Amino acid sequence: MKLELGYIDIQDIQFSEESKIANGVLYVNKDEIQKIVLGQEHIRSVEIDIARPGESVRITPVKDVIEPRVKVEGPGGIFPGVISKVGTVGSGKTHVLRGSAVVTTGQIVGFQEGIIDMAGPGADYTPFSKLNNLVLKMEPEEGLAQHEHEHALRMAGLKVATYLGELARNVQPDETQEFETYSIPEGMEKLKGLPRVAYVLMLQSQGLMHDTYVYGVDAKRSLPTIINPTEIMDGAILSGNCVSACDKNTTYHHLNNPVVMDLFDKHGKEINFVGVIITNENVYLADKERSSDWTAKLAEWLGLDGVIISQEGFGNPDTDLIMNCKKIESKNIPTVIITDEYAGRDGSSQSLADADALATAVVTGGNANELITLPKLDKVIGDVSYVERIAGGFNGNLKEDGSIVVELQAITGATNEMGFNRLSAR
């Protein structure tokens, strides 16, 4: 399966009477965006704003971050099973509005929502401070249930990202890249002698707004399966969860998964990147056993020589991570796990809720409990009053001078377990 990504670099976003892309600027008609958002069921109002890199702007509480893309050639459409009809994606051509994103905020849905600072020390901990962000502050109808609120915001964000992506359909890309994987027999013939490596992508699926969608299906309703990495680049996996902001995989993370990108970089040179095994993170022990058994079985069936495993979240999912690791290792397939740590504010607490002697190769995204002081910024998009209630916040952390003291846990993407961040340890 071969996918060509055409990157169109967005240097700025500006409001305009006409929505278009010209000379690296994304021009947006605010009225058109408002129609899209207010056309979504259960949304009462929306405010549309722009946040650029380096501006003294704080966005909170953040729900999701979505990169605009459009399918210009090949089967299926962007965000299949949700925005586009169900159809296998991952081949053909897709255009990407690189350097831009849609960010959703507004009244809090669940306490595990985050902060994006576009400037100051907090900006160093989130990759989204480097993007030109179109921010949607959306408020729900009165009396709406939490899951209905989350769904309304998720769908509105995806629809706006789809609208912006469509503007790039006939724009000449600034850069193109091709990504190709082979069938099992093709790979064994063409890449003979190279170690066969796969990526086990753990998807948050604990329910209660801890959900991830694969072709529109909630991952907790599925067993582990195999997916082509280029399908992920075409929006086959979408975030629908409110897991702690620091290690939440937003939709943007899935579209730009750095593990996938790094494996492709070595594909055909140092390794044979066989594909991705997606598995869920469950609540009950029997479900954890079942899914980890299937994950290890698939790894063995593919005849792998190595596996990289990433998780999403912490605490309960640490058990899924370690189960996947030790069961795959027990089949004589070496693993590397990517996680983060909740080691206490002094770093002396147990980092993971579970462990095993077979987990000998571990990459960490940092300690989410570390405290940071975020100075007052000139502008807030959203509502800063929620920072005492979000995970990583606490009573009294919003100071009289406008500064905020929080754990890194509260910063969107700070300790991301795909490695989409700047923190690690030796």
Catalytic machinery residues: 242
Segment holding 186, helix H or strand E? helix 184-190
Beta bridge partners of 93: 4, 73
d(CA 288, CA 384): 37
Compute CA distances 416 → 154, 277, 411, whole Å. 20, 19, 10
Instruction: Single out the residue of 69, 62, 70, 52 nearest to residue 131, CA to CA.
Output: 52
Distance CA 218, CA 55 (A): 37
Instruction: From residue 130, give the alpha-carbon distance in Å to each of 51, 133, 160, 349, 368.
Output: 10, 9, 20, 32, 21
Residues 276/97, Cβ–Cβ less than 8 Å: no
DSSP-derived letter for residue 345 is T
The secondary structure element, H or E, covering residue 189 is helix 184-190
Find all residues with CB under 8 Å of 416, minimum gap 6, and list them.
Answer: 246, 247, 248, 249, 253, 340, 365
Q: How many residues does the chain have?
A: 426
Phi and psi at residue 109, in whole multiples of 5°?
-95, -55
Longest dimension (CA), the chain: 66
Give the sign of the dihedral formed by CA 338, CA 237, CA 94, CA 75: positive
> How many C-beta atoms lie closer than 10 Å to residue 191's C-beta?
18
**Cα–Cα distance measured from residue 35 to residue 256, given in angstroms and rounded to the nearest whole number:** 28
Give how far the C-alpha of residue 20 lies from the chain's centroid of Cα atoms, to the nearest Å: 26
Q: What does the DSSP 8-state code read for residue 57?
A: E
Given a contact cutoff of 8 angstroms between Cβ atoms, the answer to whether 329 and 362 are in contact is no
> Which three-class secondary structure string do you get for 77-144?
CCCECCCECCCCCCCEEEEEEECEEEEEEECCCCCCCEEEECCCHHHHHCHHHHCEEEEEEEEECCCC
Cis previous bond, 75, omega within 30: no
Measured distance CA(273)–CA(120) in Å, rounded: 39
